[in-house]
Chain A
Amino acid sequence: MDTFFEFFSFADPNIRYVVIGSLLLTGSSAIVGSFTFLKKKALVGDAVAHSVLPGVCLSFILYGEKNPIILILGAFATGWLSLILIDIISSSSKIKEDTAIGLILSVFFGIGIFMLTIIQKSGNAAQTGLDQILFGKAASLVGNDLIAFAVIAAILIVSVWFFFKEFTLLAFDEDFASTIGLPVRGIELLLTTLTVLAVVIGIQAVGVVLMAAMLITPAAAARFWTEKITTMVWLAAIFGAFSGLAGAYISYVAPSMPTGPWIVVVISTIAFVSFFMAPKRGILYRLNNQRRIKKQINDENILKALYQLGEEEKNFFEKRTMAEILTKRKFVPAALKTGLRRLKREGYLKNQNGYWSFTKAGKHKGQRTVKLHRLWELYLTQYLHIAPDHVHDDADTIEHILTPELEARLEKLLNYPTLDPHQSEIPYR
């Protein structure tokens, strides 16, 4: 607990540097990453992260010493070049985009490694630490780095804020953006530039591979919680910033622990929780929803079978056994049993010594399902000219989904018909 207060009092300037640096870095790259994510180009961040290495080496070879600004310029140049090349390769040959990304990423990085080893063997003492750019050094950020971070983060955030509408349009509807006269190429180039900037800066803190995560993962996590892009970008920034803070804290408490990977583990955990737990889009919600719909279909089919039995014998409130229901429609016996019990609980059925019968509400519900089925069959034969013997399966699916509004429209469209294509009566209440 002591370390907790020590850390969060931010009294130690080193802690301040690391925390502020990580926050700026993770927050701003999450914001830029949101747009590359929405453009379905999440992996270009990975490509850029690998492609900056030859640029760094080249500027070192040309300049002869480690000047941060020159190195960043070099990194920026090859990072940018890599995206342009990916674009050229995938647009002017049969090579697909993912292959182009993987190709450029690995070849650029290979060239970078090759140059790096040549530099290391050249005996120039100034090169020591050049390879830190591969793995990052978030825990040893100093004041100068922080100023660079702050400037770049400000550029990123301000540009996104300024071009928010344009980026949004580009992400969702590029064709529309160009028809209303937006300079699509220019905006795309700006987004590319911002991505490269974020990567070039971020890489020095978290390293090559993990930089890709800082662009992709917060956006992917945020996407699960909202349909609104503004909310999504905010959420991504908050998730990113939180993981930056958490990563810095963990490596403070356990000094042998690397900051960058911990940032990634934290943000990944947030993402996995989002994938599973988020309302509406989360995996658990979806599975649950599927189960609910399955239950509903099962139950409506039971009511339908009971209604059809009633129709045959002109007596809807007769008591029936499970065996009788099974003659009308195939059910898994266990599913039939739980369905019957559930329907009783919900007040649609009554049960006396193992005999099942409709309540009024149950008959009404069964009747509606049958009606929808037959209306839809009629609609398919009349309006889509599908043969009557081909419409049953389709109607069996749609009858569970049709809303009362659609029901009313169907009735009106078909002019309140009395018979379906198979000459069965369409029951109205």
Chain B
Amino acid sequence: MEALQIILAGSLVAIACGLLGCFLVLRKMAMVGDAISHAVLPGIVLAFLFTGSRDSVTMLIGAGAIGILTTFLIEFFHKKGKLQTDASIGVTFTWLFAVGVILVSAFAGKVDLDQDCVLYGEIAYVPLDLWITDSGLVMGPRVLYITGTVLIILIAFIVLGYKELFLTTFDPGYASAIGISTAVWHYLLMGAVSLTTVASFESVGAILVVALLIAPPATAYMLTENLKKMLILTSVLGVFISAGGYYLAAWLDGSIAGAMASVAGLLFMLAFLFSPGNGVIYKSISRRSKPATDPS
């Protein structure tokens, strides 16, 4: 039962992150996802301080706002300051993260939050953190409801905005020509990344969020060119990573989040080496056999 709950929570987070990650990877914005997932830290701390609770909507809004602020600052320094993108990302998120760490230190007594939990997250606590209604009814792990809700919102977002997301990703010029605002969809996507990051933060930690945003989509991208297939493949990989990570962690008695990231890396490596069509091995074989079949 516990195992199932943890794997389920992991899968929900992995699918949510992976679906968004597909768009980030295709838009060459993988590091923006990384930046947001670190930069929302001060937002989370401030929300804790102001609301005093962990699961309020205010917290999501506060951290979400910081997430949007991050992307705005990155864009601003890049466009108005002509700072190259990677430096703009690096300067912005390290600054916000540093502010977050300082806030944690300054209010360490008042917030129930420490650096370890933010960086690693502790998905093992999922079955312990139950949602109990006022009448005393036990509804099961709270994290499942939060991540489940986020995933439903995300799927709705992607289904409803599929055409817009598709066009602004692959052909921004055409998209704006037919009246789709690339800026609006950029910020909607970044808002979704912030939301997902914040919701996943306490269950799996910052670093696994980044791993799940990037590794499954990158793996799926090695296997297909088709966006719909890539999204589905990413979700399947997400479930596999979650289950595989759980059992690996149980076997070696280590962090589940760490094990999930390791499995994600392993899957990418396999796809990188053996992908039919794109893998390194396939390519080197076809390169070697080419001179024989090629008459010229």
User: Do A and B associate with each other?
Assistant: yes
Question: Which residues in A have some Cβ–Cβ distance to B below 8 Å?
Answer: 37, 40-43, 45-46, 50, 89, 92-96, 98-103, 105-118, 121, 131, 134-135, 209-210, 212-213, 216-217, 219-220, 223-224, 256-258, 260-262, 264-265, 268, 271, 275, 281-283, 286-287
A103 touching B215 by the CB < 8 A rule?
A: yes
B34 touching A42 by the CB < 8 A rule?
A: no
Q: Is the C-beta of B94 less than 8 angstroms from some C-beta in chain A? A: yes
Q: Is the C-beta of B254 less than 8 angstroms from some C-beta in chain A? A: yes
- Chain B stretch 15-40: residues in CB contact (< 8 A) with chain A: 25, 28-31, 33-34, 38
Interface residues of B, count at CB 8 A: 62
In the bound complex, CA of A46 to CA of B215 (Å): 17
B89 touching A43 by the CB < 8 A rule?
A: yes
- Of A46, A114, A217, A256, the most chain B CB neighbours within 10 A belong to A114
Question: Which residues in B have some Cβ–Cβ distance to A below 8 Å?
Answer: 25, 28-31, 33-34, 38, 77, 80-84, 86-91, 94-95, 97-99, 101-102, 105-106, 108, 115-116, 119-120, 207-208, 210-211, 213-215, 218, 221-222, 249, 252-255, 257-262, 264-265, 268, 272, 278, 280, 283
A107 touching B29 by the CB < 8 A rule?
A: no
B210 touching A94 by the CB < 8 A rule?
A: no
In the complex, what residue of chain B is closest to A89 when comparing beta carbons?
B272
Q: Smallest distance from the beta carbon of B115 to chain A beta carbons, Å?
A: 6
For chain B, what secondary structure do more than half of its interface residues adopt (helix, strand, loop), or is it mixed? helix
Complex A-B: 6 CB contacts under 8 Å: A94-B221, A113-B257, A117-B255, A265-B99, A268-B95, A281-B81
Which of chain B's residues have a CB closer than 8 A to the CB of A271? 91, 95
Say yes or no: A42-B86 contact (C-beta < 8 A), given A96-B28, A102-B33, A261-B98: yes
In the bound complex, CA of A108 to CA of B25 (Å): 18
- Of A41, A43, A102, A217, the most chain B CB neighbours within 10 A belong to A102
Which one of B102, B116, B210, B254 contacts A261 once the chains associate, using CB atoms below 8 Å? B102
By Cβ-Cβ distance, the 7 closest A-B pairs, closest first, are A110-B261, A114-B258, A107-B265, A213-B94, A113-B258, A106-B211, A264-B98
Which one of B38, B264, B280 contacts A93 once the chains associate, using CB atoms below 8 Å? B280
In the bound complex, CA of A98 to CA of B31 (Å): 6
B84 touching A40 by the CB < 8 A rule?
A: yes
In the bound complex, CA of A241 to CA of B30 (Å): 31
Which one of B90, B108, B221 contacts A217 once the chains associate, using CB atoms below 8 Å? B90
Which of chain B's residues have a CB closer than 8 A to the CB of A115? 254, 258
B83 touching A268 by the CB < 8 A rule?
A: no
B82 touching A265 by the CB < 8 A rule?
A: no
Q: Smallest distance from the beta carbon of A393 to chain B beta carbons, Å?
A: 20
Which of chain B's residues have a CB closer than 8 A to the CB of A46? 34, 90
In the complex, what residue of chain A is closest to B215 when comparing beta carbons?
A103
Which one of B30, B87, B106, B259 contacts A257 once the chains associate, using CB atoms below 8 Å? B106
10 more CB-based (< 8 A) A-B contacts, given A95-B218, A95-B222: A42-B86, A42-B90, A46-B34, A107-B264, A109-B207, A113-B261, A115-B254, A257-B102, A261-B105, A268-B94
In the bound complex, CA of A112 to CA of B255 (Å): 10
In the bound complex, CA of A46 to CA of B90 (Å): 8
A117 touching B254 by the CB < 8 A rule?
A: yes
- Of A46, A92, A100, A282, the most chain B CB neighbours within 10 A belong to A46
Say yes or no: A106-B94 contact (C-beta < 8 A), given A98-B28, A113-B120, A275-B81: no
- Of B38, B98, B106, B252, the most chain A CB neighbours within 10 A belong to B98
Q: Smallest distance from the beta carbon of B200 to chain A beta carbons, Å?
A: 13
B91 touching A268 by the CB < 8 A rule?
A: yes
Which of chain A's residues have a CB closer than 8 A to the CB of B86? 40-43, 98
In the complex, what residue of chain B is closest to A266 when comparing beta carbons?
B98
In the complex, what residue of chain B is closest to A113 when comparing beta carbons?
B258
A256 touching B106 by the CB < 8 A rule?
A: yes
Which one of A100, A101, A110, A275 contacts B77 once the chains associate, using CB atoms below 8 Å? A275
In the bound complex, CA of A122 to CA of B265 (Å): 24
- Of B87, B249, B254, B261, the most chain A CB neighbours within 10 A belong to B87
B34 touching A102 by the CB < 8 A rule?
A: yes
Which one of A43, A118, A134, A224 contacts B252 once the chains associate, using CB atoms below 8 Å? A118
Say yes or no: A213-B98 contact (C-beta < 8 A), given A99-B28, A101-B30, A106-B211: yes
Which one of A93, A112, A131 contacts B258 once the chains associate, using CB atoms below 8 Å? A112
In the bound complex, CA of A268 to CA of B99 (Å): 10
Which of chain A's residues have a CB closer than 8 A to the CB of B29? 98
Q: Smallest distance from the beta carbon of A248 to chain B beta carbons, Å?
A: 15
In the complex, what residue of chain A is closest to B94 when comparing beta carbons?
A213
A105 touching B218 by the CB < 8 A rule?
A: no
In the complex, what residue of chain A is closest to B88 when comparing beta carbons?
A220
In the bound complex, CA of A118 to CA of B259 (Å): 10
In the complex, what residue of chain A is closest to B265 when comparing beta carbons?
A107
In the bound complex, CA of A40 to CA of B120 (Å): 30
Q: Smallest distance from the beta carbon of A116 to chain B beta carbons, Å?
A: 8
In the bound complex, CA of A185 to CA of B213 (Å): 32
A213 touching B95 by the CB < 8 A rule?
A: yes
In the bound complex, CA of A107 to CA of B38 (Å): 16
In the complex, what residue of chain B is closest to A94 when comparing beta carbons?
B278
A93 touching B211 by the CB < 8 A rule?
A: no
Which of chain A's residues have a CB closer than 8 A to the CB of B213? 102
A107 touching B211 by the CB < 8 A rule?
A: yes
In the bound complex, CA of A334 to CA of B81 (Å): 30
In the bound complex, CA of A105 to CA of B31 (Å): 10
Q: Smallest distance from the beta carbon of A416 to chain B beta carbons, Å?
A: 41
Which of chain B's residues have a CB closer than 8 A to the CB of A134? 115, 119
- Of B83, B213, B222, the most chain A CB neighbours within 10 A belong to B83
Which of chain A's residues have a CB closer than 8 A to the CB of B278? 93-94
- Of B88, B91, B116, the most chain A CB neighbours within 10 A belong to B91
Q: Smallest distance from the beta carbon of B127 to chain A beta carbons, Å?
A: 18
Which of chain A's residues have a CB closer than 8 A to the CB of B98? 209-210, 213, 260-262, 264-265, 268
In the bound complex, CA of A96 to CA of B28 (Å): 7
Which of chain A's residues have a CB closer than 8 A to the CB of B115? 134-135
In the bound complex, CA of A260 to CA of B210 (Å): 23
